[in-house]
Amino acid sequence: MNGGGLLVAGTTSDAGKSVVTAGICRWLVRQGVKVAPFKGQNMSLNSFVTREGAEIGRAQAMQAQACRVEPSALMNPVLLKPGGDRTSQVVLKGRPVGELSARGFFGTGDARLGTGLHGGGREALLATVVECLEELRSSHDAVICEGAGSPAEINLRRTDLVNMGIARAARLPVLVVGDIDRGGVFASFFGTTALLAPEDQALLAGYLVNKFRGDVSLLEPGLDMLRSLTGRRTYGVLPFRHGLGIDEEDGLAVSLRGAVRESAVSEPAGPQVLRVAVCAVPLMSNFTDVDALAAEPGVVVRFVDRAAELADADLVIVPGTRGTVRALGWLRERGLAGALARRAAEGRPVLGICGGFQLLGERIEDEVESRAGTVEGLGLLPLRVRFAREKTLGRPHGEALGERVEGYEIHHGLAEVTGGEAFLDGCRSGSVWGTHWHGSLESDGFRRAFLREVAAVAGRRFVPAPGTSFAALREQQLDHLGDLIEEHADTDALWRLIESGPPADLPFVPPGAP
């Protein structure tokens, strides 16, 4: 017998689906429920590698942590990684199977896919998505699913597999989250409901208000009117809290780094802060690599796109990107490439991660990602990069600066290091470091050792705080999300939804889908 389930949808993108899903997962696991997260299809440049070597969205990896289970490819069977305005790499059950245009993904052909996906389009993927969900449900008491965007995108409903498509296929009750901080939440709840077909409306159980500021009693008349208009209740009103995001799909507003950027920087352990500038390159991927830096007391992290903003930085990071050659051109166009070269010549610290590591080298041969052929790199590190069609996915571990380090790799570029000092399977030359390893800065001992090295090279009197545990901070953050659900949602009613499905008496709200 399959376990219970729930789909957390949203009135818009970034309404809070990821954090609400994680919060429900953490609340459930604290009640002794064996729970797993799920998102049928994700579009994101922030991804993670499971222990089995499968690539999934980072949000689902963090939701797995909320569930206290190992991440699995079953939790995110379809991952789309944008490579431009109109194309994405399709990752199916953790493995890349080819490139797909927007037209191809929506069922009109024009795809370049490998043998891992036959037929093209979303319709070909629904059976796989349902199969993965059912496998999770067969081994868990509950599976909490996250939708994408809005379930009322009427132009996409026919081929939908992440919102009402999967809800109808798996008979999941649907909870719609709305961000009241943006305004218009009542209209969004009503409009979302009224634009769904009768069969979909029968699964939409009710609403959850997110990011409310003020006295809830002032909101209650509106919630009562919404119930009279739609026949659906509101399952909770979550208050606005700073810094309670988890690793998101795209954007720069949430996660631990967001918490630091939105509030006062923690007091440094030593006499000075350390200033970190992250180049906001196009198609930036896994920018969550810098979250662990931002969690350090006295480390100030900011994202920059102008050369002048590098001037006072003690460390500049060139992060990962899905478009290495494109990012290289962007750095040159904006004068950032010249600023990086001057930093290296002056012995000032630079760190390149994954794509950022590749473009710091001497030469890039790319017939895969950009198909630009041979392109000269910035020449700050002694390496040459050749793009392979096969993607490298792994969970490496090792030692650097006298400390144990763990990370994960996601890249097509193969680096041939021709000099310098060894550094996390990459290299160091003077004040410039480079590695393919994402997540290495989450290793506490290594992060502190690296920051001490950077501070010494930069001439800053910065001292890393001795007790910062990034893993403990993440656990604390997930517990805060669980607390929000436990304290501000009707958890008894939520559990009835998860266990028994949508109420049988949900009325139809006209006009319905056209």
Q: What average pLDDT does the segment 294-306 reach?
A: 92
Class of domain 264-467: alpha beta
> Tens of pLDDT along 345-395?
999 999 999 999 999 999 999 998 888 999 999 999 999 999 999 999 999
Q: What percent of the chain has pLDDT over 70?
A: 90
pLDDT at 97: 87
pLDDT at 56 over 80: yes
What secondary structure, in 3-state letters, does 184-231 show?
CHHHHHHHHHHCCCHHHHCCEEEEEEEEECCCHHHCHHHHHHHHHHHC
pLDDT at 256: 36
pTM of the full structure: 0.90
Q: What average pLDDT does the segment 308-313 reach?
A: 94
Domain with CATH 3.40.50.300 in the chain: 4-244+475-500
Q: Provide the pLDDT confidence category of residue 67 given band limits of 50, 70 and 90.
A: very high
What secondary structure, in 3-state letters, does 316-331 show?
EEECEECCHHHHHHHH
pLDDT at 122: 60
pLDDT at 213: 93
Q: Provide the pLDDT confidence category of residue 14 given band limits of 50, 70 and 90.
A: confident
Q: What average pLDDT does the segment 150-171 reach?
A: 92
Rounded Cα distance between 193 and 472, Å, is: 40
CA-based torsion, 255, 261, 264, 267: positive or negative: positive
In this structure, what token pair is assigned to residue 507? 């009325």
pLDDT at 108: 46
Rounded Cα distance between 266 and 272, Å, is: 12
> Tens of pLDDT along 481-511?
999 999 999 999 999 999 999 999 999 999 9
pLDDT at 110: 44
Question: In this structure, are residues 60 and 71 in contact, taking their beta carbons and an 8 Å threshold?
Answer: yes
pLDDT at 70: 96
In three-state secondary structure terms, 289 is: helix
Q: What percent of the chain has pLDDT over 90?
A: 78
Mean pLDDT value across the chain: 90
pLDDT at 40: 94
Q: What average pLDDT does the segment 84-100 reach?
A: 83
In three-state secondary structure terms, 308 is: helix
Q: What is the CATH number of domain 4-244+475-500?
A: 3.40.50.300
pLDDT at 261 over 50: no
Q: Which residue is it, tokens 């830096």? A: 293
What secondary structure, in 3-state letters, does 121-190 show?
CCHHHHHHHHHHHHHHHHHCCEEEEECCCCCCCCCCHHHCCCCHHHHHHHCCCEEEEEEHHHCCHHHHHH
Q: Provide the pLDDT confidence category of residue 245 given band limits of 50, 70 and 90.
A: low
Residues designated catalytic = 354, 438
Rounded Cα distance between 195 and 199, Å, is: 12
Domain with CATH 3.40.50.880 in the chain: 264-467
pLDDT at 257: 38
pLDDT at 31: 96
Q: Return the H-helix or E-strand segment holding 332.
A: helix 324-333
Rounded Cα distance between 509 and 511, Å, is: 6
